[in-house]
Structure 1
Amino acid sequence: MSYFVSPEFLRVLLLGFITSLHMTWRRLVNQIVPVPYLDEVFHVPQAQAYWLGKWSHWDAKITTPPGLYVYSYIVNSIRDFFTLNFRPSINQWRATNVLLLYMLLVALYILAAVSKRPVNHEGILQREFNIVMFPLIFFFSGLYYTDLFSVFSVVLAHIFWSAGTSAQGYTKVLHQTLHLGAGLISLASRQTNIFWVAVYLGGLQVIETIKHQVGPNKVHDPPILEAYFEEFPIFGISIVQSAITMIPQLLIDLWPQISLIISFAAFVLWNGGVVLGDKDNHIATIHLPQMLYIWPFVVFFSWPVLLPQLAQLSSFRRRLPRLTTALCFMILMLAVVKFNTVIHPFTLADNRHYTFYVFRILRQHWLIKYAAVPIYFVCAALVIGALGGGPAEARSESEAAQNRVLFGEDTIHASFMLVWLIATALSLVSAPLVEPRYFILPWLMWRLAVPEYVPKSRSVEQKRLVAAEKKDSPQDGRNAPSTWSIEQLLSATAAYSNVLELMWYITINLGTCYMFLYKGFDWPQEPGNIQRFMW
């Protein structure tokens, strides 16, 4: 009977539950929305054209490369081989996107294995399940959009890069070649993926190479919670000084990323710009507030992941930025809001998207956009703090041991934060349109980096520490508190952060999917054509 309550068996049941929700979403979309909707109006006919052998046909309104359509052609060609008179409909094109959700789940587990990240094998609910239930990933898995193929291809490139960092000789070259191939596939799905398959992974590769050559202790790269703002320039100077002495080795290790950047530059020169079609409405610009909007985006979706850093209020207070740092950043944020707020006409014209209503609130009074600045800053502090895992500064050996027990050796350093910020900024600030789908990859890379929280009750060493504390405390119970403290309550809640995250995603998915399916409305200029709410 113990087998039926084992984590493995319960995990299978949980996967079955997630699959059931996903298949229900797919079935209802095809029943209630049997014709292409919104961007599907462009994607589906283009995929159909390729299926009919019209490889030279291209819709001038499509902005992204044809990677999704080629992938869908291959999948449906395999189905055609086993099926008589197979004629792809919108249902079949959407089905190729549905398949990507499970391919992504497998890829995430492979990435965790090759990255050698600590995994809580006793936990029933693991990070990978929550990622595939992330509302934007889950929602667009039921429609024929490019987002899932884009995310999957980036994760695939990440797998080959991670595997290559620990390989040697011909095996390393093989993984680098596969990284290059996966990167080209990723660029064929979305141009801005260059910042994740080349810049982001290239930045991480530079850190890996330098630390391997000179030793990790020779590079000023403190854990994220021990790093003050002024240490980032010191880290940058340290990296540059080390890099200058090993340029040949860096070129050997970075040739896949350099090749991808050269390929991207060649495409831009050939195309006359980044986007393929509809260039008038997708002009690159400097849009710095994108780097403000991402923080509440992450907090809104991932607030359960932020709870573990609140489990110890005393250590949480040491995580907070210094007052001078906070004031400097908020002044900078106010200047960005004042001088660089860009509101794309699409944002104000299309009330089918949730961003329309967010910006309607921000534009109700001129003070609101400035009042949001402290919210941006607090959200940023929480998101960055989540990467630190345990206490920012151990005051005793006991506290240091507790930090190791809770988060193992899964330590995030300032170098990761700097590389992630650069890649995120490059991928966002050139886009004038505030589109939640643009935030998926920055969120995913952050979520994969957050150290996994292991509750106290799961650790033998932690039990020993708790027992030692009890030994020094009054035993008669007269001084024991009759109710839980706030810290105990936060700690108990943090123990279920993964469960809360999944439940939160399910709640959002139920709400947004219901709104899409059953709360359609008409535009006066398009009577009889149902409009639907979506991300």
Structure 2
Amino acid sequence: MSTAEESTTYYHFFVVASVYVLKALNGIVDEPYMDEPFHVPQAQAYCRGEFDVWDPKITTPPGLYILSTILKRIFLLKCTLPVLRLTPLLTLIFLPPVLTLLLAFHKRIRAPPIFPPFANSEATILASFPVAWFFGFLYYTEVPSLLTVVGTVVAAGNQRHWLAALLGLVSCAFRQTNIVWVLYAFAAGALVQLRFQRAVSDVKVSEKPSSKGSAQLHDPLALEASIDDLLPLLRSIPRSVSTLLRTFIPYSLVLAAFAAFVIWNGGIVLGDKANHVPALHVPQLYYYFGFATALGWPVLVGGGDNALDLAREIKARMFGSRRRVLVTAAISALMAVTVHLFTVHHPFLLADNRHYTFYVWRRVFMLHPLVPYLLIPGYIACAWAWFLRVGHDQTLLQTLILPACLLPTLVPTPLLEPRYFLVPYILMRAQVKDMRTWGLVAEGAWYAAINAATMYVFLCKEREGVGRFMW
């Protein structure tokens, strides 16, 4: 069997297994659960054509309900709970082919045709990432949001900026914070364009030494960069931005539409504003890298360097010289201050014992007052591990734009939820280019084990007076 045939087999198994799981879930969880009691009646109102009806407890835009209404009109379906759950399932099924295009973009290889849908094994494994896979079976916005964000990045990376802007606008109809990922898509596509132009300019200069070449962005390879590159990089940005103004026009229209929405709405949150007040929650960044490492450890150890080599490199980056020791100590001290001043104990996190984060928070972070501070060196090591894995064959800016986008998406969010980490994790994991076969097998097996355990607990271990456990 050829590699393409094997990949197709994996994808077909993914589709069949997902359909089977949804059927089992609908047979057991036959009433709306958790957030579904808000989403389902709202979708049913849209299906009846009552577009002026809106539940003020809903915090996200109506993209999910509009998509379900469109599917209802096309296929003449009824908007019952099992049928509505087909909406996220369909987006989950289309996720591996779109992730295949994203992986091809980062690996700079020829992308496969979109039709008929094709997904390679790595993309199928990535689509089974536990948080994405789990919410593909409930009437939530997570997977449709993820799919449109990935499509936006793929279109921008292929210099199809008007299509990227359109997909980005659609993504914002599922989640408002996706406006940040629209800008990420523009930046990712722009940096690829600038890197290509720089390579062409370098060839011309080598052929004609007298030529001065065009103004270039100073953007060294990530793993070769040092702090001395920071000032030249900042100085070179204005010279490069002018060449991208025309490219930015489609995205500026999306920004304008988003700004108009915020002015009309009086803020970013659509409803239930009392329980979703933005806060300065800096430790969210630290939780993200801890979460990414806990769930994505096979990605870290399954690449070009083995686990011991990666550990040695992390140690060298943190403590390899007196200068690095001082920098690590200064960063640790700053992080300790932010943990002390900006840790948020959200009422939902403390009260809702149907989420795994409830138990992680109580049994780890609240075990002792020193625990949040003792975890700081681990957060730094996790961040370095992902930088080293993602930074292979990428420039410094290509590697850092995603962590920069974490600031506006995570820091204002007071509630600790794995769902908020989903989009950045998928986009970060897709940048890893050198996964070995055994690493992919380990990643797939790890995700499968988590998925089996969490879905089994959700379906078969309901506790009286508590409910079903979920992400």
| Whole-Å separation in 2 of the counterparts to 1:28 and 1:231 | 55
User: Aligned residue for 2:325?
Assistant: 323
- Measured against aligned partners, the alpha-carbon deviations of 1:446-491 in whole angstroms (never above 9, x if no partner) come to 011111335xxxxxxxxxxxxxxxxxxxxxxxxxxxxxxxxxxxxx
User: Aligned residue for 1:305?
Assistant: 299
Q: Aligned runs of 1:25-104 on 2, under 5 Å?
A: 25-80=21-76, 86-104=77-95
- Measured against aligned partners, the alpha-carbon deviations of 1:182-240 in whole angstroms (never above 9, x if no partner) come to 11111111000000012x12323443454455657643222221223453454233223
Q: Aligned runs of 1:444-463 on 2, under 5 Å?
A: 444-454=426-436
Identity of aligned residues (%): 37
- Measured against aligned partners, the alpha-carbon deviations of 1:286-325 in whole angstroms (never above 9, x if no partner) come to 1111111111111111111101254285676345313233
User: Aligned residue for 2:320?
Assistant: none
Q: 1:417 to 1:513 in 2, by over 3 A?
A: same
Q: Aligned runs of 1:413-492 on 2, under 5 Å?
A: 413-454=395-436
The answer as to whether partners of 2:36 and 2:138 remain within 8 angstroms in 1 is yes
The alpha-carbon deviation at position 118 of structure 1 amounts to 4.1
User: Aligned residue for 1:490?
Assistant: none
- Measured against aligned partners, the alpha-carbon deviations of 1:391-410 in whole angstroms (never above 9, x if no partner) come to xxxxxxxxxxxxxxxxxxxx
The alpha-carbon deviation at position 269 of structure 1 amounts to 0.6
TM-score, normalised on structure 1?
0.78
The alpha-carbon deviation at position 375 of structure 1 amounts to 1.4
| Whole-Å separation in 1 of the counterparts to 2:428 and 2:335 | 22
Gaps of 5+ in 2: 113-118, 203-215, 318-323
Secondary structure at the aligned position of 1:191 is classed as coil
The answer as to whether partners of 1:288 and 1:336 remain within 8 angstroms in 2 is yes
Q: Aligned runs of 1:256-405 on 2, under 5 Å?
A: 256-307=250-301, 308=303, 310-311=305-306, 313=308, 317-318=312-313, 320-321=316-317, 322-360=324-362, 361-389=364-392
2:14 is the counterpart of 1:18:
yes
- Measured against aligned partners, the alpha-carbon deviations of 1:98-127 in whole angstroms (never above 9, x if no partner) come to 111121122222334566624899xx9732
2:108 is the counterpart of 1:117:
yes
Corresponding residue to 2:229 among 222, 228, 231: 231
Higher alpha-carbon deviation: 225-234 or 207-216: 207-216
Superposed CA RMSD: 2.3
The answer as to whether partners of 1:49 and 1:57 remain within 8 angstroms in 2 is yes
Structure with larger Rg = 1
Corresponding residue to 1:514 among 432, 456, 465: 456
User: Aligned residue for 2:211?
Assistant: none
| Whole-Å separation in 2 of the counterparts to 1:107 and 1:136 | 18
Q: Aligned runs of 1:89-238 on 2, under 5 Å?
A: 89-113=80-104, 117-118=108-109, 126-164=121-159, 175-198=160-183, 200-208=184-192, 210-211=194-195, 218-238=216-236
The answer as to whether partners of 2:283 and 2:343 remain within 8 angstroms in 1 is yes
The answer as to whether partners of 2:10 and 2:121 remain within 8 angstroms in 1 is no
The answer as to whether partners of 1:388 and 1:451 remain within 8 angstroms in 2 is no
TM-score, normalised on structure 2?
0.88
Higher alpha-carbon deviation: 347-356 or 12-21: 12-21
The answer as to whether partners of 1:309 and 1:316 remain within 8 angstroms in 2 is no
Which residue identity is paired with 2:469?
F
Gaps of 5+ in 1: 81-85, 165-174, 390-410, 455-494, 524-529
